[in-house]
Amino acid sequence: FPGHTFTWKTLVPAWVLDALPPALDPEPLVLSFQQRPPTWLRCRDTEEIIASLNRQRIPWDRHARMQSALAIDPSWHLAHVLKREAGRYEVQDIASQAVGMLCYPEPGQRWWDACAGSGGKTLHLAELLDGHGAVLATDVRDLSREFERRVAAAGYRGISAIQLDAATTSPQPAPFDGILVDAPCSGMGTWSRNPDARWRTKPEDIRAQSMQQEAILANAGTGLNVGGILVYSVCTLTDQETTGVVHTFLERHPEISLDPFSNPLTGEAVPGILQILPADGPGDGMFIARFRKNR
């Protein structure tokens, strides 16, 4: 394009910069979308997976704080190189692993994964419960064969699944000790892995997604035990889908408040809301809020 000057602002649609939180520096974020992140593994037996990777001379990095998380170059075909270890690990981005850690389910609890999708976070909840509790997975779509395959391969007990719309329906019996709402979103946090998505996403999508997110959160809150934990996560960075949804939810539900936690990636104290940027992992961008029902 003769005579055209390319800058970092041309790497995303113009509306994106206005959609970000005012306090977020857009330039390093946009530039991070140009870097493909590693593939992250969540290992059931980390030393076993490390030994297999070492035998095959496959370089790996271990997360400094989340010791079951390993990063490898995305060019490796894991189904081939870790064929013998199938079911001993899950491909799950480090930011998604942080979501499960912030749920922190306790033995004997009942959890509802309201937007289970392909089941990665459902499996993480079941792993953390270690057979001493129950996880109900639901999704607006019929849960996929991929979900069934992953559950069967992992062999966890206490997982059940049904199809329902979490924006309008609560599963029975309720209430639950904990609920995870990993809501559908614009997916801006995954643009490093899906670079074309930035050109397909429209600003009107953001408003539609935030309305759906608000509805799911509101419905989920009614199914939570007093003292129970509700975790809201979205793999996006827009102000409307993150702090905007949280503020609306808190205004409409005075019985629920933010619940402080420690950032799983750094150990730093967080007052209930965490924005993970792609460069933090490195990995996907993820927004996480944790709530507690007080009455």
Cβ atoms of 276 and 98 closer than 8 Å: yes
Closest C-alpha among 164, 109, 98 to residue 131 = 109
What does the pLDDT read at residue 2?
55
What does the pLDDT read at residue 142?
84
What does the pLDDT read at residue 280?
95
Tokens of 295: 């009455």
Q: May I ask the CATH class of domain 39-91?
A: alpha beta
In the chain, where the domains are located: 39-91, 94-293
Question: At the topology level of CATH, where does 94-293 sit?
Answer: Rossmann fold (3.40.50)
Closest C-alpha among 145, 146, 100 to residue 123 = 100
pLDDT one-digit tens code per residue, 111-124: 999 999 889 999 99
Cβ atoms of 211 and 249 closer than 8 Å: no
- pTM (predicted TM-score): 0.94
Same topology, domains 39-91 and 94-293? Answer is no
235 is catalytic: yes
Angle formed at CA 47 by CA 44 and CA 262, multiple of 5 degrees: 60
What does the pLDDT read at residue 151?
84
Measured CA to CA, the distance from residue 56 to residue 72 in angstroms comes to: 13
What does the pLDDT read at residue 172?
86
Residue type, 70: L
What does the pLDDT read at residue 5?
64
What does the pLDDT read at residue 156?
86
What does the pLDDT read at residue 3?
53
List 43, 115, 185, 235, catalytic entry: 235
The secondary structure of residue 76, as a DSSP letter, is S
Q: Which residues of the chain have pLDDT under 70?
A: 1-5, 144
What does the pLDDT read at residue 272?
97
At residue 186, the 3 state secondary structure works out as: coil
Measured CA to CA, the distance from residue 290 to residue 236 in angstroms comes to: 16
